[in-house]
Structure 1
């Protein structure tokens, strides 16, 4: 992963939309789509399905958003519709589904991406488990335990933001003028992290072993371990379409590279089509927004993987 944001005057919002559209190569179809479904009787899940589908096959670009032209450290656009990473894709769809009209989109995007809607690098919800999920409980509800029905576990780790800031290099500074002294700015960014203390986090998740029920009598080799499983269809059926699925890796040891360990590494949207559940997400592997069968995606991680399960957040609006 708040307090509410005051609604901007209409003219200011429309000016903001036009400005960001120009600077971020935004696709106006998405904003038009928000307006076209505004007066329908679509459920939240339906809105998530329609809006997310409109962005299919858009390219994956890591870290594609920032704080806009006024950002101190990252001047990538505040939003765009032509490229995504996993989290910005989820944020964009959520903000669109939450909006009654296109002019509502910027403030909703801002509130989802930033603590208390305050735009700055420091207040951005950088860490899914420590920031994004807890700071967005104003529009989401953790239903992991409800879906898991006793199978849920907890993934614990310590998010060390201070060490994360200190591990940053100049490539963290984005969209800045060539005349900017990046070393001085990087020193300032390192200073921004000094007030933070290590933060223990505990994220509920459903283990893959609850989704894939192993038949030990038939599983006598590593290969057959994957093949000789039954799908827990009852559990699968309890996952709502339009919910946010976060991939959980308990105490994922990446400290040597980024300064801190993690316990969530990817986000997606659950979409039900023709009675089957899919993950719709900006895939780093496939380099675009794709649909993958829910069980097909997770079956790849059953053997020798640090990915152990998934957390489920359901929109409440």
Structure 2
């Protein structure tokens, strides 16, 4: 006697479901676990309450750590933010919590850490991401040439590499000429008017990669870091990645939106991060630039 169709179908469906569900992604040297409620899991009506939980914390470092922890496990997507619908060439939303790349991750965290209410998050994020009105050409595309100078002037961040690294800090000037900009082999799709092209000399400091672990414990939790790579004339930037330093009972970690190895926001052991970055030979990593997130002004 043939078994009922349902008796065949149910195991088949379960088998297909098990086959279709990938095993948990391995996270070597890292974790994506948090006990805090994540922004991306909140319903629209409860999201403002989570934002307020961050806003009421005392001290900008506490707010940076709380806001950033609520992104752990969020999937990586390159360039998930744009200027919004009807604003070509990048019509992605101006604010979102479900996807992040390394730069939009720290930008959104910075906005959350400075906001006093849910209504302030987007205006602050716009200030962080743009040097002027919201528009693709006004976006701070290049970290050392645009992002750091713009947000230093506005009082959002301050470079503290030399303060933390002392005599181990290395200063460098990235020079970009008109010819180098026109012949660039990175960021070719970023079409900017001449007045917004990152032409000129751009100074930055970095803690050499070989000395990062010696100074790791001295880096305050909540400090931003930027991965500085070798100066290549055909490349308009030396910064390839950014994130947040987090001091935990288990040691020093970097909280960042990892691309290839992790494809999500994770906490990675600093030692593991340094070891991985030391392996890059095609575009060698020189070290880390360190930026302090500044406290919001006193309420009037």
Cα 1:293–1:27 change in 2 (3 A) is: farther
Gaps of 5+ in 1: 1-23, 173-188, 212-230
- Report the equivalent of 1:294: 270
- Report the equivalent of 1:58: 74
- Relative to the length of structure 2, the TM-score reads 0.74
Question: How far, CA to CA, are the matches of 2:156 and 2:254 in structure 1?
Answer: 20
Question: How far, CA to CA, are the matches of 2:85 and 2:79 in structure 1?
Answer: 16
Cα 1:162–1:55 change in 2 (3 A) is: farther
- The 8 Å contact of residues 55 and 63 in structure 2, kept in 1 or not, is answered as no
Shift of 1:25: 11
- The 8 Å contact of residues 30 and 51 in structure 1, kept in 2 or not, is answered as no
Match of 1:109 among 121, 125, 129: 125
- Report the equivalent of 1:130: 145
Cα 1:97–1:151 change in 2 (3 A) is: same
Question: How far, CA to CA, are the matches of 1:261 and 1:197 in structure 2?
Answer: 8
Question: How far, CA to CA, are the matches of 1:75 and 1:135 in structure 2?
Answer: 23
Question: How far, CA to CA, are the matches of 2:198 and 2:169 in structure 1?
Answer: 28
- Relative to the length of structure 1, the TM-score reads 0.71
Report the secondary structure of 2:147's partner residue.
helix
> What is the root-mean-square deviation of aligned Cα atoms in Å?
2.8
- Report the equivalent of 1:32: 49
Cα 1:166–1:251 change in 2 (3 A) is: closer
Report the secondary structure of 2:174's partner residue.
strand
1:207 matched to 2:213? The reply is no
Cα 1:247–1:295 change in 2 (3 A) is: same
Report the secondary structure of 1:149's partner residue.
helix
Q: Output one character per residue of 1:241-260: Cα deviation in whole Å (capped at 9) or x when no partner.
A: 1110000013146x3xxxx3
- Report the equivalent of 1:14: none
1:141 matched to 2:142? The reply is no
Gaps of 5+ in 2: 1-39, 296-300
Bigger radius of gyration, 1 or 2? 2
- Report the equivalent of 1:311: 289
Task: Give 4+ residue runs of structure 1 displaced > 6 Å after superposition.
Answer: 24-27, 165-169
- Report the equivalent of 2:135: 120
1:82 matched to 2:98? The reply is yes
Cα 1:304–1:270 change in 2 (3 A) is: closer
Question: How far, CA to CA, are the matches of 2:174 and 2:89 in structure 1?
Answer: 28
Count of matched residue positions in the alignment of Structure 1 and Structure 2 = 248
Match of 2:255 among 280, 284, 288: 280
Shift of 1:31: 3.7
